[in-house]
Amino acid sequence: MSPRKKKPANVTGNKLTATMDEPVFRSRKERMSAGERLRESLPHSLHAVWKPPRKHRDPIELLEESNRYRLPNLVPVRYGRMLRSPFTFLRGSAGLMAHDLATTPTTGIEVQACGDCHLLNFGLFATPERNLIFDINDFDETLPAPWEWDVKRLAISFVVASRDNRHSDKAAESIAVECIRAYRERLRKLSKMSPLNVWYDRLDAQTIIDMAPTAEIKKFREQVVAKAKGRVGDYLYPKISSEVAGRRRLVDQPPILYHSDEKDFLQRARQALQDYRLSLPHERRVLFDRYRLEDIAIKAVGIGSVGTYCFVGLFFSAENHPLLLQFKEACPSVLAPYAGKSDYENQGQRVVTGQRLMQSSSDIFLGWTRGDNGRDYFVRQLRDMKMSVPIEGISAPRMKLYAQWCGLTLARAHAKSGDAALISGYLGKSDTFDQALGQFAMIYADQNARDYAVLLAAERSGRIKALMEDE
């Protein structure tokens, strides 16, 4: 068959447009040039600027708006976790930052965005081949959106986390700049690769160990990797379950883990599992059918997700091999008010599709379903060597090395769905964009600190209620 006639893409304002039924294939050189031209209308220096919107901006109102889908009894847990530090506040306020980032300048170039791209949403986990890799691991908010929003949130998170670790502002800014430099340079290299090689690209644990600049850091990384390999369901389930009347049951630890008192809950859960099963590829349905549901309970997870419906399902094979699956509610993305609604009716399918598109490898049990209450869920293994790199108390030089990993990883994730050559042409070879984002991250980190102070004041005045857990 001969290829369909190609129509040239057009640059309208800052947006590259093309019709869906007429795919555009232009050379890398042409796309790089188109990206370079975007700098004329949107200089890198404009990305360094942050000014709060003139319209009334109440952080508490925006946070409360994000609570409308949450279980009321878990909202205080969410606030309690956010109140621990400016960084935990940032982790729990993706909607607030999305509101702000939507007012900042963008090139109009979209990618499959993470939507909640902060440094602890990267980490180690196992591939289906049981290899340990480093990648983005949270996609609750994923949606096609401007690539700049992920890059900016990631840079900001490094500044805020660095300040929490009592690094100097100079060090914090240099760490953010290093993250963006790694992103920019990796994206240019990816733009020269074939689409297949971009999809095959990954950062595995052994490579990270081999990249260690000193013997001390190499030993630390080996310890982290060894710990991650021990974080599997076989080791977790005895700690969160016990035997009751001859059956294994999850142990209630309210309000963090507890059983629902809704009538026929277990039966309704089994019905939802049938839809989940159909979301799996056929060969994985065969695998899933080897397990039976033994128990299911509500579990509060993370910070930003606290209060959404989240369940842990305990399954066993015929020989009583355990499997823990997490059923996590998928609400509309925090980016949707600014980037547009998802193409998928089921928000769980939105998350799963975005995750598969951005990750280099994904959980074999990744799927979605809808409960009889109309809520959407995505499903994954609860613990499959999944582990965030410990950053609390680490030195600024080590934080800078970690920033490199995150920048490299985000570049590959964006290159899978977006036009790496077009974005790379805009970024250029110099560090002007890196420096602009470093300045922006510092300024917005100040905004994050002010918003955190507003939340503290709201808790003291009684405007919100917070439950502080034992750490």
> What pLDDT does 3 receive?
34
CA-only gyration radius of the chain, Å: 22
Q: How far is CA 240 from CA 44, 234, 252, 343, in A?
A: 50, 11, 8, 38
| DSSP notation for 44-91 | GGGGG-----SS---HHHHHHHTTTTS-GGGHHHHHHHHTT-HHHHHH
- The 10 Å CB-count burial string (b at 16+, else e) for 196-233 is eebeebbbbbeebbeeeeeeeeeebbeebbeebeebbb
> What pLDDT does 471 receive?
59
Asked if 87 and 164 count as a contact pair (C-beta separation under 8 A), the reply is yes
Could you say which residues of the chain have pLDDT below 70? 1-25, 232-235, 384, 470-471
Q: How far is CA 217 from CA 124, 143, 192, 399, 402, in A?
A: 17, 36, 32, 12, 12
Strands lying side by side in the sheet with 257-258: 257-258, 291-299, 310-317, 322-329, 376-381, 367-370
Q: Encode pLDDT of 9-51 as tens digits.
A: 333 333 333 333 555 668 999 999 999 999 999 999 999 999 9
CA distance 284 to 286: 5
Say how many CA atoms lie within 13 Å of 325 toward its Cβ.
25
> What pLDDT does 257 receive?
87
Residue 306 gets which letter from DSSP? B
CA distance 15 to 38: 9
> What pLDDT does 234 receive?
64
Q: Encode pLDDT of 72-83 as tens digits.
A: 888 998 999 999
Residues 6+ away with beta carbon under 8 Å from 374: none
Task: Tell if the pTM clears 0.75, that is, is over it.
Answer: yes
CA distance 175 to 180: 9
Distance of CA 154 to the CA centre of its chain: 10
> What pLDDT does 25 receive?
67
> What pLDDT does 247 receive?
85
According to DSSP, the residues that pair with 145 across neighbouring strands are 111
Strand 291-299 versus strand 257-258 pairing type: antiparallel
According to DSSP, the residues that pair with 310 across neighbouring strands are 328
